[in-house]
Structure 1
Amino acid sequence: MSPTAFIDELQNELQLTQYGQHPPELYDPIRYIMSLGGKRMRPLLTLMATYLFTDDWQKAVRPALAVEVFHNFTLMHDDIMDQAPLRRGHPTVHEKWNHNIAILSGDVMLVNAYQLLLNVEADKIKPIMARFTRTAAEVCEGQQMDMNFETRWDVTEAEYIEMIRLKTSVLLGYALELGGLIAGADDVTTRHLYEGGMNIGIGFQLKDDLLDVYGDPAKFGKQVGGDIIANKKTFLLIEALEQAKGTVKDELDSWLTRTEFDKAEKVQAVTAIYDQLGIRQIAESRINDYFARGFANFNEIRADADRKALLIQFAKQLVERES
């Protein structure tokens, strides 16, 4: 089996999926954001997890799309909160239409996610819905924590890890857990799937923080140093604030409190402080630790070796990314 088969099936189902028709102002934004592409890694993980235990992995396609629709719902609402003008190089929904339409269309996307999840065997609906509902609430909790951090300078590493676990990682974990639940895997196995996805997800977000500072602009796909310019509470900044002392702390504080500055100069100066404090090495150590935990979870799964190798190889491609 090749990942291409999963991708093709997902794309076909995406094109066939109907979210609603009238009024068009409610449903056109959903079709728009779902057409903008993306890695589709969450539904792919669901299909691969299902395939670990059954040849009938196609029965997971519509529930897998529920995870993707929910993910894009969170992006639509995040863009409103962040006042972001672009999403994947295109105008965001609130820019193309307006804020009220974006809010309401996002709400309908959440409803659509629940509707898509109903496409499972009757005896599996309750556990799948219960876990999805908890996950959806956790994503919102993580988003609120992230917003709270904007006005705080005392955010700890533990708090930050918990925030990204909730905001981004639990959904990766659920995507894999969902595949196991659909295939009828036992509780121990679905727990390994969930925790493996969650650990990979934390490492994935930490790597995103690292790439924002140290990534190749040609590969990263967005402005390198954007987090530094915005004073965003990333793992690197939180660690630097904890490690910096004396004149180094004074210099870092100075850059963080300036309201007028040359962007390139600020990125260069703060990156130099990170270098001086060894922040890159600390971040890389944490990233490798979470990735190692995730693969250890996957190795505990009892499944066909070739099928498990397919999942592990796909996960490795995710963690080795440079964009």
Structure 2
Amino acid sequence: MSPAIFVDALQDELQSIQYGQDPPELYDPIRYIMSLGGKRMRPLLTLMATYLFTDDWQKAVRPALGVEVFHNFTLMHDDIMDQAPLRRGNPTVHEKWNGNTAILSGDVMLVNAYQLLLSIESDKLKLALERFSRTAAEVCEGQQMDMNFETRWNVTEAEYIDMIRLKTSVLLGYALELGGLIAGADAETTRHLYEGGMNIGVGFQLKDDLLDVYGDPAKFGKQVGGDIIANKKTFLLIEALQQAQGSIRDELTAWLTRTTFDKAEKVQAVTAIYDQLGIRQQTEVRINEYFARGFANFNEVNAIPDRKDLLIQFTRQLVERES
């Protein structure tokens, strides 16, 4: 089995989904954001997790897209909160339409996500919806924590890891857990899938933090150093704030408190501080720790070896990405 088969099944179903028609101002933004592409990583993981235990993986396609619609709903609302002008190289919904429309269309996307999940077989539906509802609330909790961190300079590593676990990783964990639930896997197996996704998700976000500073601009797909320019509380900055002393701390504080500065100069200066403190290497250690935990979780899953290898190989390709 090739991942391309899962991709094609998702794309075919995605094109057939009817989000609604009237008024078009409500539904056109949904079709727009869903047409912008993306890796479709979460629904692909759901299908691969289902395929671990059954040949009838097609029954997971609509629920898997429910996860993807929810993910894009969070992106639409995140873009409003961040006042982001672009999403995947195109105008964000609030820029193309307006903020109120983006809020309302996002709300409908959440409803659509639940509608897609309702295609799950009745004996598995209650648990799947309970877990999804808890996950959806956790994503919002993580987003609020991230917003809270904007005005704090004493964010700890533990707090940051907990924030990205909620904001990013729980949905990845749920995507894998959902595949197991749909296929009828036992509770211990779905727990391994969930925890594997959670650990891989934390590793992804830490790697994203790292690539924002040290990534190749041609591969990364967005401005390198953007987090430094915005004083965003990333793993790298949190570690630097905790470890910097003396003149290094004075210099870092100076850059963080300046209101006017040359962007390139700031990126270069703060990156040099990270280099002095060995922050890159420390971040890479953490990334590898979380990826290793995730693959250890997957290895605990009792499934057909060839099918488990497919999931692990696909995840390794994601882990090794540079964008």
C-alpha distance after superposition, 1:138-188 (max 9, x if no partner): 000000000000000000000000000000000000000000000000000
Task: State the one-letter code of the partner of 1:228.
Answer: I
Task: State the one-letter code of the partner of 2:238.
Answer: I
Residue pairs, 1:168-179, within 5 angstroms: 168-179=168-179
CA distance in 1, matches of 2:121, 2:87: 35
Residue pairs, 1:10-89, within 5 angstroms: 10-89=10-89
The aligned residue for residue 101 of structure 2 is 101
Report whether the alignment pairs 1:297 with 2:283.
Answer: no
CA distance in 1, matches of 2:215, 2:90: 22
- TM-score calculated relative to the size of structure 2: 1.00
Deviation at 1:39, TM superposition (A): 0.3
Deviation at 1:49, TM superposition (A): 0.0
Deviation at 1:197, TM superposition (A): 0.2
CA distance in 2, matches of 1:201, 1:314: 14
The aligned residue for residue 240 of structure 2 is 240
The aligned residue for residue 159 of structure 1 is 159
- SS of residue paired to 1:213: helix
CA distance in 1, matches of 2:138, 2:42: 17
Residue pairs, 1:107-146, within 5 angstroms: 107-146=107-146
Residue pairs, 1:308-323, within 5 angstroms: 308-323=308-323
The aligned residue for residue 217 of structure 1 is 217
CA distance in 2, matches of 1:301, 1:277: 39
Deviation at 1:283, TM superposition (A): 0.2
- SS of residue paired to 1:255: helix
Q: Percent identity?
A: 86
The aligned residue for residue 147 of structure 1 is 147
CA distance in 1, matches of 2:221, 2:73: 22
Task: State the one-letter code of the partner of 2:295.
Answer: F
CA distance in 1, matches of 2:190, 2:170: 13
The aligned residue for residue 182 of structure 2 is 182
Structure 1: runs of 5+ lacking an equivalent: none
The aligned residue for residue 276 of structure 1 is 276
C-alpha distance after superposition, 1:199-225 (max 9, x if no partner): 000000000000000000110000000
CA distance in 2, matches of 1:77, 1:247: 40
- SS of residue paired to 2:66: helix
What's the Cα RMSD here? Answer: 0.3
Report whether the alignment pairs 1:202 with 2:202.
Answer: yes
Task: State the one-letter code of the partner of 1:72.
Answer: N
Deviation at 1:307, TM superposition (A): 0.1
Deviation at 1:233, TM superposition (A): 0.2
CA distance in 1, matches of 2:297, 2:286: 17
Q: Which runs of 4+ in 1 moved over 3 A?
A: none
CA distance in 2, matches of 1:269, 1:73: 36
- SS of residue paired to 1:210: helix
- TM-score calculated relative to the size of structure 1: 1.00
The aligned residue for residue 92 of structure 2 is 92
Task: State the one-letter code of the partner of 1:90.
Answer: N
Deviation at 1:3, TM superposition (A): 0.1
